[in-house]
Amino acid sequence: MLFFIETVISGLMAGVMYSLVALGFVLIFKASGIFNFAQGVFALFAGLALYDFISPDGWFYELFGFVLPAWLGIIATMGVMVIVAWLVEFLVLRHLVNQEPIILFMSTIGLAYFLEGLGDTLFGSDVKPLNLGLPSGAWDYLLDTHNLYVEKLEVVAAVVAAVLVTVLAIFFQKTRIGRALRAVADDHQAALSVGISLRTIWVIVWSVSGFVALVAGIMWGSKSGIQFSLSLIALKALPVLILGGFTSVPGAIVGGLIIGVGEKVAEVYAGPFVGGAIENWFAYMLALVFLLVRPQGLFGEKIIERV
């Protein structure tokens, strides 16, 4: 029983990570209808930039001879992500207004490879251990009292994710910019007519998803170092989105948790019978089933059309 609980908890923690990445997808998809394939690379790029600001073997140290403290590094990285967002709007999106979704999707694939190459060139391809002074190791209290092994970092990740989602939910529901984001997602022309500037909104939304990517990058990076496989979690986010629905923030969270727990439990309990490696394909299998049964996902909107 104890082992089962540990399995579930570690699944939940992995799920939180998936959720964070999926969240970035949802934000952009909601506001602009673009499936941003580069979201995983955003997380990688943000992690690399952050590492660079705070580590003595980065460009920043070479140029200025000192490193930034962690909190300043995060703010600086955020600045970088806003610049990336602005550049994406200025160089790519602006020129693709009113194009087919597939063209926009292809452009984000291009963007993904470009950023990955840029990151490689700028920062090199070694695995970089990110040390922000976040707590690590087992949570002693649970280990002592219940003999449960839970990593502190994972708990922190869960708390951070919860706070992030709450703030985003309030931002989306209750503020002018949140309303404007939803308005743009709903009807471009109407949004324009009330004076919402599409360009501003796109920069904001890409910045926000850059921010989410940064958080995801920090968490993954603190756990297993910043490495190029991070960009592949974008692929894992896809089944999460199919499960949760492409337009639903809570869907991204719940979908991530289900997949995280599901694949861990399946790996541990069913793995031995099929020769293991269930973790590699479980999520896609589940997504396939969902596509057959409930294509709009758990929380996806059924489109209401009135004629």
Partner 1 sequence: MAYERNIGDTLLAVDQISLSFGGVKALSNISFSVNEHEVFAIIGPNGAGKSSMLNCINGFYHPQEGTITFKGKTRRQVRPSEAAREGIARTFQNIALFKGMTTLDNIMTGRNTKMTKGIFWQALRFGPAEKEEMEHRAVVEKVIDFLEIEAIRKTAVGTLPYGLQKRVELGRALAAEPDLLLLDEPMAGMNLEEKQDMCRFILDVNDEFGTTIVLIEHDMGVVMDISDRVVVLDYGKKLAEGTPDQVRTNQTVIDAYLGVAHDDEDE
CB nearer to partner 1: give 120 or 186: 186
158, 191, 213, 286: which one binds partner 1 (CB under 8 A): 191
Phi, psi of 299 (to 5 degrees): -115, 10
CA-CA-CA-CA torsion sign (197, 203, 209, 211): negative
Q: How far is CA 63 from CA 56, 58, 59, 119, 155, in A?
A: 11, 9, 6, 18, 36
Cβ-based neighbour number of residue 167 at 10 Å: 10
The verdict on 179 binding partner 1 (CB under 8 A) reads yes
- What are 282's two structure tokens? 């479980």
Residue count at the site for partner 1 (CB under 8 A)?
A: 27
Is residue 71 part of the contact set for partner 1 (CB under 8 A)? no
Q: Which of 99, 175, 229, 280 binds partner 1 (CB under 8 A)?
A: 175
Select from 114-122, 157-165, 167-175, 216-224 the region that touches partner 1 (CB under 8 A).
167-175
The DSSP-derived string for 64-95 is HSS---HHHHHHHHHHHHHHHHHHIIIIIGGG
Does residue number 171 form part of the binding site for partner 1 (CB under 8 A)? yes
Q: Is 93 in the site for partner 1 (CB under 8 A)?
A: no
CA dist 86 and 45 (Å) reads: 15
Minimum gap (Å) between residue 26 Cβ and partner 1? 14
User: Which of residues 24 and 119 has its CB atom nearest to partner 1 in the complex?
Assistant: 24
Q: How many CA atoms lie within 13 A of 94 on its CB side?
A: 11
Question: Does 194 sit near partner 1 (CB under 8 A)?
Answer: yes
Query: At a CB cut-off of 8 Å and minimum separation 6, what does 129 contact?
Result: 225, 226
List of E strands, 189-240 = none
Q: Contact, 119 vs 227, CB < 8 A?
A: no
- Asked if 190 touches partner 1 (CB under 8 A), the answer is yes
Q: Which range of residues in 3-11, 170-178, 264-272, 285-293 is near partner 1 by CB under 8 A?
A: 170-178
Task: Establish if 92 lies at the interface with partner 1 (CB under 8 A).
Answer: no
Contact call for residue 288 and partner 1 (CB under 8 A): no
23 neighbors 253 (Cβ within 8 angstroms): yes
- Identify which of 160, 155, 156, 165 has the alpha carbon closest to the alpha carbon of residue 250: 165
Q: Output the smallest distance, CB 1 to partner 1, in A.
A: 42
Between 214 and 283, CB nearer to partner 1: 214
Among 10-18, 47-55, 179-187, 263-271, which window interacts with partner 1 (CB under 8 A)? 179-187
Find the shortest distance in angstroms from Cβ 208 to partner 1.
9
227 backbone φψ class: left, alpha, beta (φ>0; ψ -120 to 50): beta
**Pattern 196-235, binding to partner 1, x per CB under 8 A?**
xx------x-------------------------------
Interface contacts to partner 1, rule CB under 8 A? 167, 170-171, 174-180, 182-183, 186-187, 189-197, 204, 301, 304, 306
